[in-house]
Every structure is written in structure tokens, then in C-alpha cells.
Structure 1
Amino acid sequence: MGYTFHVDLRGIVDLLSHHLYASPQVYVRELMQNAVDAIAARRIGEPGVRGDVRFESPTSTGDGTLRIHDSGIGLTEEQVHELLATIGRSSKRDDFGFARQEFLGQFGIGLLSCFLVADEIRVWTRQGDAPTVEWTGYADGRYEVELAPADRQRPEPGTTVTLAPRRDMEHWLDAETVHRLAALYGSMLPIPVRVDDLPVTAGPAPWETDPAESGLARRSRLATYAQEVFGFTPFATVDLAVPEAGLRGVAFVLPAPANPATRVAHRVYLKRMLLSESIEGLLPEWAFFVRCVVDTSELRPTASREALYEDSLLEQVREALGDRLRGWLTQLGRSGSQQLAEFLRIHHLGVKALAVHDDEMLRLVDQWWPFDTNQGRLTLAEFRDRFGAVRYTPSVDEFRQIASVAAAQSIPVVNAGYVYEAELVARLPDLDPAIQVEALSSTDLAAELEPLDPATALTVRPFLATAQRTLDRFGVEVQVNAFDPISLPALYLLDGDTALQMDLRQRQQEADETWTAILGSLTAGHDDRPRLVLNHRNPLVRQAIGVGDEQLTVLAVEGLYVQALLLGHQPLRPVDTAALNQSFLGLLGRAMAAGTEPSKSEPPSKSEPPSKSEPPSKSEPPSKSEPPLKSESESEPSGSEEDR
């Protein structure tokens, strides 16, 4: 035995208000959508009908209700029963259930959105020469239908919808709110819309062009629009068009850097009615440096009409719009204008993100974007022209460690440690297989440093043994080389792989038994340690090597180690901080102790006894070989008891 579903309208209204629509304000959009579709339906049979939409706020009606009038096709009594009283049934679908492209609505739930702000909806409608029908729906699920009496017949085809507000929702129906919402959703409609006789529809849409309008005038109009809608004056504007989706629009390039992680939302119109101000997924992810306003006739909205349905057509549109922006960037690169350099200064992240997968954008980055190098800021093309092969470091920290030393050894290096840059440099051979690219690690640089001659290495061995014992507790390998610049006493070298192993070993010490075993399997067979390379050409290092005092050597090595960490912009662990304090205080204490010892370099002269009038000081005792001269009183020795 079959049964029919029953629908709890109160539950449906709660579902719409809390889970489908973001705000009650959408009721104005749904009312205008139904009115515009009704006019479009009438024009199919009567092409000459102009049509219009009028709102009457409670200020005009005088009874607290809101009315919206349209000169559309209207409904018959049978259609009222079939469409207005059946949730999900829509007249805007064909015989096969597919949406008809000339209409905005598709889902048959638009009128229900009015229950978000009203307890009662009254519809007064007439189609052609048929009598006027009155339909009244209530929020509790009831509805009434009757033919209007003679004194309430509509003079012409069309529909009037009257909303009686719910308690505490009256503000959604006041004149100012209705005018604002009607202007938000309907300002671009080709059909005149008025609220209490105030026009809502505006001038030409941003995507429209007028042969009589000069290029300067259009740019000024678009700049004004972007300032009013998006809150910025655009760096540039790019016209968009995808005929397959009936899409036209304009992309406004942001005048300031954009955060790639920030949600990118665009303003999308469907058949010139605003769908939403915050549509996501219209452009590829890399195009976060633009904000778009577009109108489309073919893309499908979701049921809430606040997002686009993700289908193959939307994917094609996304790719086509990405191609259009890519073409605009390429055109800037070919013109070689100052505008491109300024654009890259602002939005290099977006361009580099695209260049990771796009050869044309990679060429643009190669020719125009300056990288940090130890020879100054240069584009990759300039770097190759001057030095041939491109050596680079994949992290900023490694570049800071080796930049000055590599420069002193005549090794030019590119800093590719910023976002996307290592991938871009590594992809250069994709443009031309003849381009030589090589990642330079700290280990590679260490191999380039000049070794000590055998005799010097032999004399350094005792010091090196003491230094290694000192730094074993820090997990650092010590070596002595000769390199430039002479002013640099020590170099701390830590490559990416070694840093990863150090981090895993540290986590292994802190983890529980299970994770210790897992991390142990990852670190097994890896005993790489960072290196401290002491510069034998540096006078301070040579002095430390020859000091001969083991305690002083330990303090000096610890001090040189921490200084190398700081110069390499490395974070200090607690053990490193302790070494910093110990070496500083230890060396300071030794220096102060040396400064307070009695001077042994200038003993008193034996040929000049102390003066009679000036007793000898404590630091200059009388000579034992010659008794002190006596004063006039032989019984009174020279100097006081304290002096003696």
C-alpha cells in the first residue's frame, strides 16, 4: 500500500532559515527573481512587453505590509494549486525536468523564503484573460485559494505578492532596508525596478562597453565601481569573457599584496541579478591577487543561490579565466613596461605560484623577478649571463650561513629559500636543457674550503682534539680550514638533511616508547652532525690554537661556537645559551684577573734610593742592598708603620 509524504512547513521554514539561506535578506532576491522570471515568461508570447517590478513598503501601504508588483505572465487557478502549494515544483523547468535557461529560478522554493520574515503570504495573480486568483499561505502549512470578486480583479496580467511581517521581523520590511536589498540584488537588471517610486536599477554594468565611451572614461568608471564595491582603487583591470558559459566580467587587480591563505570571494551575477558577493572557486587558487565581478547565464547556482554548483562547466570556466589572466601577464612581459615590474613587486607570490606549473609564467619570472644573491639582487637571466651555472640554496638559513664565505671563494649563489623559489630555479632546465642548475649545500661549501698543509695540520691537532671534546656535548663536528674572509673566525654549517635528523633525534628523546621506536627507525644509520669550521687565517683563531691553556681553550671554543650560531641566524638551544654565558663570564673573569695582578715589568731602580721626603710605596719596597737613608732624626725610620 502506497502513502504520500507529509511536509511540516514549520520544519521546512526552520531548515531554510538555519541551514540553507545565510540571512533573511534573501527574501527580497527571491521575490525579484520570481517577478523577473514571470516577465521573461510573458515575453515569450508577447515580445513587445517591457515589464517592470515595483515594491511598496509599509510606508506606502500604510498597513504594515510589503507588496511587490510585476507585469509578468501570472498564474491560473490550476497553476496556483500545482506550483504555489507544492514545495520543489517549479514552472521554470521543461518537460524533462531540466532548468529552462531563460529563467533565474529552478528549485520551486523561492516563495518559501518569504516565511523567514512573514507569517502570512498573499498572492494576487492573473494570467491573460483568465480571472484573478487569490492565494493565501500561512507559516503553519495551511493555504487558501479563491477567485477574486469583481471589485478585486487585476486590470492586467501579472502578480502582486503581499507579506504580513512576523513579530520582531518588521525591520526587514521597512522602506530603507527593502531599497538597500533591492539595489544590492537588482541594480544590474535590464528590467526597471522601483521601491516606493525610487529607482533601483543603475547605469551600465561594469562588464558592458559602449562604443561612445572612451577608454579613459571606462577606466575611470571601473575604478569608481571597484572603490565603491570592493573598497580599493585597482592596480589594473582585465576584461573577462567565456562565451560557452555566457560569462562576461571584469577582474580588478589588487593594489596591495594579498595573503594567499585569505579566502578569495568574487561578485557573481546570474542573468544580471546578483547571486552572491562572496562566490568562491570561480578562479584558480593562484589568482588570489584579483577580485572579479561577472555575469553568467549558464553556470548553475546551488539551491540557496549563494554559491555555484561544482560541475564540468564551472571547471572549464575556471581554466578559461585563468588563461585570460595568464595572457594578460604575458602581454605585460612582452611590452617590458614598468607596470610589470610594479605588478611583480606587489603580487610576485601569485605569479610564482603559477610559474611552478606554467612555463610561460616561468619565463616571465626568469626575466623579470630579482632574486637575492651573494652578488646583489639579480634576475635569474642576469645571473646566468654573468656567472653561467645557477648555484642556489633551498633555504634562507643556509644562504645566510654560506653567502659571505661563498662570495669570498668566488662562488656566486642564489637565495632560493623564499616561497616557491627553489621549485622555480630547479625548473629552469624545463625552459632550456642547456641551463645548468645546482643546489649548493653547506656540505658542498665545506668541500670547497682550503685544507691546511700537513705541517700546520700537525701543530693544530692538540687544539682540535680539545675543541672536539668541548663541542661533543653540543653534537657538533669541528674542523679547521683556511678561508676568506679573514675577519670571519668561525663558520657554522648545517644543511637541510642534517637539520631534519637533529630534529628527529631531539623528538626521539622527548617521545614515549612507541614513538621512540618509530623515530629510531628513521634516524638509524644517520649520524650526520652540523660542522663548526674554524678559520686558520683569522688571528683570533690562531691565538686560540696557540694559547696552551686548556681551560682558556675551552672557553674560547665555546665562545666561537655561539658566535657562529648567531652569525648564521640559528636558534639557541638551552645548552647553547648556557655555553654563551659560561664562555662570556669565564673569559671576562680571566681578563679581569689578569688586569689586577701586580706589574712585574718595571721593578724599582737599584741606583736610586727612595727620597727622604717620600717614603717608599708598597709596590716599590726599599732595596735590600742599600739601607735606606736616614732623616735628620736617626731614631725615626722613613715611612709609617702601614707602609712597612
Structure 2
Amino acid sequence: MSYTFHVDLRGIVDLLSHHLYASPRVYVRELMQNAVDAITARRVGDPGAPGAIHIYPPESTGDGTLRVEDTGIGLTEAQVHELLATIGRSSKRDDLGFARHEFLGQFGIGLLSCFLVADEIRVRTRAAGGPTVEWIGYGDGRYELHVAPAERDRPEQGTTVTLVPRRGAEHWLGRDTVVEIASLYGSLLPIPVQVDHEAITTGLAPWENDPAEPAGARRERLDAYSQEVFGFSPFDVIDLAVPAAGLRGVAFVLPMPANPTSRVAHRVYLKQMLLSEDIERLLPEWAFFVRCVVDTTELRPTASREALYEDALLDEVRDALGDTLRGWMTRLGRTDPRGLQAFLRVHHLGVKALAVHDDEMLRLVEQWWPFETNMGPLTLAEFRERHGVVRYTPSVDEFRQLAAVAAAQGIAVVNAGYVYDAELVSRLPDVDSDIVTEILTASDLATRLEPLDPDVELAVRPFLVLAQRTLDRLGVQVLVRAFEPASMPALHLLDGDTALAVDLRQGQEQADELWSSILGTFTQGRDERPQLVFNHRNPLVRQAISTGDDELTTLAIEGLYVQALLLGHQPLRPADTAALNQSFLGLLARAMEGTR
């Protein structure tokens, strides 16, 4: 046995008018949408038909009501039943004889938004060759329908909607409020709109190009629009177009850095009626450095017409707009290198985020964005041209450790420790197979330092044994090498893998038995330790090697070890601080003894 649903009309009205829309102000938009649709439908058969929308607030009507008049197609009695009294009916094609996608909204559901501010909605409408029909809807779900008496007959084809405000909502119908809302949603409509005889529709839309308007004047107009709407004067303005979605618009490039994680919203119009000022996900996530205003004829709005429906077409639009922004950056590099460099100084994070996955943007970054290197700021293209192999460190700490010593040995290295940089450098061979990249680790640098002659190595062995015994408790491996600069007595080397092994061993020592055994599985068979490399070319180190006083040499070894930590920007552990104190106080005591 089958049954038919019983619908509580009052509940449906409450649902649509109080829970579908985010704010009562949308009622003005819905009334204008219905009027525009009616005029559009009339002009199909009569292109020369008049097109105008007049809104009269209570200050004009004098009876507390708000009235909206249009010169549209009007409705017959049957169409009123179908469109205003059948909730869920979504087609205008058959009833008005016009393609569905040409319309902004839906008469029935859109009109119900007026119950946000009204207890009673009166519709007087007249189709061509027919009588004037009156429909009165009430907030409790009732409606009346009849042919209007002669005294309320409309003299011309079209529709008049009158709202009787609900108690407490009168301010939503006031003149100033209606002017503000109508200007927000309808200022760019192709059909003139007036509120109390004041024109709401304005001049050219931002996406419009007037052949008679000079390029400089258009840029001034768009700069002024951006300042008014978004609050900034743009770095540049980019024209947007996606014909498949009937989309046209402009993107305003922010003149200041933007947070990549911040929420990015754009201003979107549907057939020149504002859909929302707060549309997200119109652009790819990496394009957080622009704010857009666009108009579309084909993208689908949600039921409330306050957001865009996520579908394949929106995905296509998102990709196409991303391609447009990439093309703009590429053209800027060809035609205005200084402008591109200025743009990158502000928005390099967004460009680098894109370059992680986009070869064209990676080429742009390689060519134009200066990286920090131990040879000074250089683009990757300049670095490769001068030094061949692109050696880099994947962390800032490693770069700080190695930069000066590597430079003194003639080894150029890029600091790729900032966000996205290591990924970008490692991807360079993807865009050019001739490019060679190489990570420079602390261990690699140690192998590049000059070893000692055999006789010198034999002479420093007692010092090396003493230094290793002194620093064993601090978990450090000691080497003696000769390297530049000679002014640096010791170099502390710690790469990422060694740092991880050290942290695991420290965690194992501090954890309980269970966790200690678990961490032990990761450290078993591994004995990586940081390296402390004494510089045999440094006069102080040679003096410590030859002093013949083990106590004094031990104090010097501890002091030089801590100094190397500080030069490498390494944190001091409690044991390191104790070694520093012991060395400082011991050396101070020895110095004081010499004054007796």
C-alpha cells in the first residue's frame, strides 16, 4: 500500500523563509530577481518592451507597506497557481516559454523570502490580453486568489508586489535600508532600478570594457572600485574570462602580503545580480594574493542563492582562473621584470606554493626569486650559472652551521630551509634534466675539509685522545682538520639524521622501561654523533695542542666546544652549560694564578 506525504504548509513557509536565508535583507534581492526575470521573459517576444523596476518604501506609499512594480510579462491566473502556490516547482521554461538558465531565481520560493519581514504578501499581476489577478499570501500558509475588481485593475502589463510588514520588522522596509540593500545587490543590473525615484543602477560594471574609455581612465576606475569594495589600491588588475561558464570579471592583486592560511572570499554576481560578497573556493588555494569580482551566467547557485554549487563546471572555472593568474605572472616576467620582482617580494609564498606542483611557475621562481646563499642573494638560475651544481641545505640551522666554512672552502650552498624552498630546489631537475642538485650535510662538509699531513696527525694525536675523552660524556666525536677561515677555532657539525638519532637516545634515557624499549628499536646499531672539528690552522688551537698542560688543555677544549655550539646557533643542554661554566671558571682561575 502506498501513501501520499502530508505537508504542513505553515512549517514549509517557516523553513524556507527563516532557515534557508542567512539574513532578512535578501528579500529585496528576491523581489528584484523576480522583476528582472519577468522583464527578461517579456522581451523574448517583444524586444522593445519597456524594462524598469520601481520600489516604493513606506515613506512613499504612506500606508506602511513596501511596493515593487515591474513592466514584466505578468502572470495569468493559472500561472499564479502554478508558480506562487506550488512549493517545490522549479521550472519557468514551460510556464513562461523561456529557457530556464536565463532566469535569476524562482518566483515561488524567492517570494517566500519576503515572509522574513512580512506577514502578508499581495501580488497584483496582469499578462498580455488578460485580466488583473490578485494573489494574497499569509505567513500562516493560507493564500487567496481572485480577479481584481475594476478599481484595482493594472492599466498595463506587469506585476506589483506589496509587503505588509510583520511587527518588529518595519525597519527592514524603511527607505534608507531598502536603498542600501538594493544598491548592494542591484547596482550593476542591466535593467534600471529606482527606489523612491532615486536611481540605484550605476555606470559600467568592473568587468566591462568601453571602447571609448582610455586604458588609463579604466585603471583609475578599477582602482577606485577596489578601494571602495576591498579597501586597498591594487598592485595590478587582471581581466578574467571563462566563456564556458559565461564568466567575466577582474582580479585585484593585493599590494601587501597575505596570510596563506587566511580565509579568501570574492564578490560574485549572477547575471549581474550580486550573489554574495563572500564566495570562497572560486580560485585555487594558492591564489590567496588576489580578490576577485566576477559575473557568471552558467555557474549554479545554491538554493538560497548565497553561494556557488560545487560541481564539475566550478572545478573547470577554478582551473581556468588559475591558468589566467599563471599567465599574468609569466607575461609580467617577459614584459616588466622589475614589476615581477616587486610582486614576488610581496607574494613569493603564493608563487612558491604553486611552483611546488607547477613547472612553469618553478621556472619563473628559478629565474626571478633570489635565494639566500653563502655567496650572497642569488636566483637559482644565477647560482647554477656561476657554480654548476646546486648544493643546498634543507634547514636554516644547517645553513648557519655550514655557510661560512663552506664559503671559505669555495663551496657555494643555497639556504633551502625556508617554506617550500627545499621542495623547489629538489624539483629543478624535473624542468631541466641538465640541472644537478645535491644536499650538503654536515658529514659531507667534514669529508671536504683538508686532512692533516701524516707527521702533523701523529703530533696532534695526544690532543685528539684528550679531547675525545673530555667530550665523550657530551656525546661528541672529535676531529682535527685544516680549513678556512683560520680565525675559526672549531666547527660543530650536526645534520638532520644525526640530530634525530641524538633526540631518540635522549628520549630513551628519560622514558620509562616500556617506551625506552620501543625507542631502542630505532636506535639499535646506530651511533651517529655530532662532530666537533678543531681547526689546525687556528693559532689558539695549535697553542692548545702544544701546551703540555692537560688540565689547561681540557678547559680550552670545553670552552672551544661551547663556542662552536653558539656559532652554529645550537641550543645549550644542561651538560653544555655546565661545561661552559667549568671552562670559564677554570680558565679564569688559571689566569688569576698568573698575577700572584
TM-score tier by shorter-chain length is: over 0.9
Give 1:226's aligned residue: 226
Change (3 A) 1:499 1:65: farther
More deviation, 559-568/199-208: 559-568
Give 2:254's aligned residue: 254
Give the AA of the match of 1:6: V
In the TM superposition, what is the alpha-carbon distance from 1:575 to its structure 2 partner? 4.0
The gaps in structure 1 that reach 5 residues or longer are 599-644
More deviation, 106-115/348-357: 106-115
In the TM superposition, what is the alpha-carbon distance from 1:373 to its structure 2 partner? 1.1
Question: Between Structure 1 and Structure 2, whose CA radius of gyration is higher?
Answer: 1
CA distance in 1, matches of 2:73, 2:379: 65
Contact 2:451 2:482 in 1 (8 A): yes
Bigger share in helix: 2
SS in 1 for 2:105: coil
Give the AA of the match of 2:439: A
CA distance in 2, matches of 1:221, 1:32: 26
Per-residue CA deviation, residues 565-622 of structure 1 (Å, 9 max, x unaligned), is: 222222334444444444444444544x426x53xxxxxxxxxxxxxxxxxxxxxxxx
Change (3 A) 1:183 1:526: farther
Give 2:304's aligned residue: 304
Give 1:594's aligned residue: 593
Give 1:6's aligned residue: 7
Contact 2:267 2:278 in 1 (8 A): yes
Which runs of structure 2 are paired with 1:124-523 in the superposition (5 Å)?
Answer: 124-508=124-508, 519-523=519-523
SS in 2 for 1:373: coil
SS in 1 for 2:248: strand
In the TM superposition, what is the alpha-carbon distance from 1:217 to its structure 2 partner? 1.0
Query: What is the alpha-carbon root mean square deviation over aligned residues?
Result: 2.6
- The two structures have a TM-score, normalised by structure 1, of 0.86
- The two structures have a TM-score, normalised by structure 2, of 0.92
CA distance in 2, matches of 1:510, 1:31: 70
Give 2:70's aligned residue: 70
In the TM superposition, what is the alpha-carbon distance from 1:171 to its structure 2 partner? 2.6
Change (3 A) 1:157 1:549: farther
More deviation, 400-409/153-162: 153-162
In the TM superposition, what is the alpha-carbon distance from 1:10 to its structure 2 partner? 4.3
CA distance in 2, matches of 1:9, 1:474: 79
Per-residue CA deviation, residues 155-206 of structure 1 (Å, 9 max, x unaligned), is: 2222222223333333322211211111111111000011111111110011
Contact 1:10 1:139 in 2 (8 A): no
Give the AA of the match of 2:14: V
CA distance in 2, matches of 1:118, 1:550: 96
In the TM superposition, what is the alpha-carbon distance from 1:107 to its structure 2 partner? 8.9
Per-residue CA deviation, residues 483-508 of structure 1 (Å, 9 max, x unaligned), is: 11111122221212223333444455
Contact 2:16 2:113 in 1 (8 A): no
SS in 1 for 2:163: strand
Which runs of structure 2 are paired with 1:605-616 in the superposition (5 Å)?
Answer: none
SS in 1 for 2:125: strand
CA distance in 1, matches of 2:71, 2:550: 101
Contact 1:13 1:112 in 2 (8 A): no
SS in 2 for 1:293: strand
SS in 1 for 2:102: coil
Per-residue CA deviation, residues 405-459 of structure 1 (Å, 9 max, x unaligned), is: 0011011111222222222222222332222221111111111012233343344
Q: Count residues with an aligned counterpart.
A: 594
CA distance in 2, matches of 1:107, 1:55: 18
More deviation, 485-494/567-576: 567-576
User: Percent identical across equivalent pairs?
Assistant: 72
Change (3 A) 1:276 1:512: farther
Per-residue CA deviation, residues 368-403 of structure 1 (Å, 9 max, x unaligned), is: 221111111111222222222211112221111101
Contact 1:99 1:106 in 2 (8 A): no
The gaps in structure 2 that reach 5 residues or longer are none
Q: Which has the higher contact order (CA 8 A, sep 6+)?
A: 2
Contact 1:107 1:303 in 2 (8 A): no
In the TM superposition, what is the alpha-carbon distance from 1:64 to its structure 2 partner? 2.7
